[in-house]
Amino acid sequence: MKYLTLVFDDGPSYPIREIADKIKSYGWNAAFAVIGRKITDETVDMIKYVTDNGFQVVSHAQNHVHIEKLSTREEMKEELITPIETVRQMIGYEITMARLPFLSESENVLSVTKELGLPLLGQGIDGGRDWDPTTKPEFIASAVLGSVCDGAVGCLHVLEGTCKALDTILPNLKDMGYCLVTPQELFKRTGITPPLGVQIHNVYDFKR
């Protein structure tokens, strides 16, 4: 069996539940990277829904800004930590990983995340520009299926086109011998400790 993880960015928002349900129908799991300012009394139930169903939630920063352009390390820390504190306070779930907005880094940002003890999930699969609402689902599916590999960390988005693309992606992944798991489970199954201070595109990049 080959394992990989998909992390869906920019929630909590529609159609997060449908994405989770499609993945769960295969007995699989994945993760959602949430933006802190989107977490409200109206959307927190979306986060609770996915965590109750075994999905992992990671920080995608408070305001989805280029963290490397912030003036101080304290601002960088606050941008990453605020969603973690919000989710903890609202539903008691502990976020332990993050994904940088735009996957944009600097030496200072990587140092800050290492200090915070936050492993950074990168992009080891071609998402087919799924962040663009005009991208066709078949293009997204083709890009994903053409670039998957064992141990990869995928970067997709909570959007309708991506959700529709899963109707092609998921059965084909199964036929190709893959199983979708959370990032935490991916490290556990491969026996690799999540590294700090670096973006993780494939867990096997860090196998000793």
- The residue assigned the tokens 């941008």 is 79
pLDDT in tens, 177-195: 999 999 999 999 999 999 9
pLDDT in tens, 53-75: 999 999 999 999 999 999 999 99
The pTM for the full model equals 0.97
Q: If we measure between CA atoms, which residue out of 80, 140, 146, 142 comes closest to residue 109?
A: 80
Q: Which CATH number fits domain 2-206: 3.90.1150.10, 3.30.413.10, 3.20.20.370, 1.10.4010.10?
A: 3.20.20.370
Q: What is the pLDDT of residue 78?
A: 97
Q: If we measure between CA atoms, which residue out of 68, 9, 13, 10 comes closest to residue 43?
A: 13
Residue 193 DSSP code = P
- The predicted model gives 110-130 an average pLDDT of 98
Looking at the predicted structure, is the pLDDT value of residue 9 above 80?
yes
Q: How distant, in Å, are the alpha carbons of 162, 167, 171 from that of 138?
A: 9, 10, 14
- The residue assigned the tokens 């940002």 is 109
- The residue assigned the tokens 């999905």 is 55
Q: Which run of H or E residues covers position 171?
A: helix 160-175
Burial classification of residue 41, based on how many CB atoms lie within 10 Å of its CB (0-12 exposed, 13-18 middle, 19 or more buried): exposed
**Tokens coding 44:** 């927190």
**Tokens coding 18:** 């449908």
Q: What percent of the chain has pLDDT over 90?
A: 99
Sketch the domain layout of the chain as residue ranges: 2-206
Cβ–Cβ under 8 Å, residues 35 and 11 = yes
Q: What is the pLDDT of residue 208?
A: 60
Beta-carbon contacts of residue 96 (< 8 Å; ≥ 6 apart): 58, 118, 119, 184
Q: At what angle are helices 16-24 and 160-175 packed, to 10 degrees? A: 10
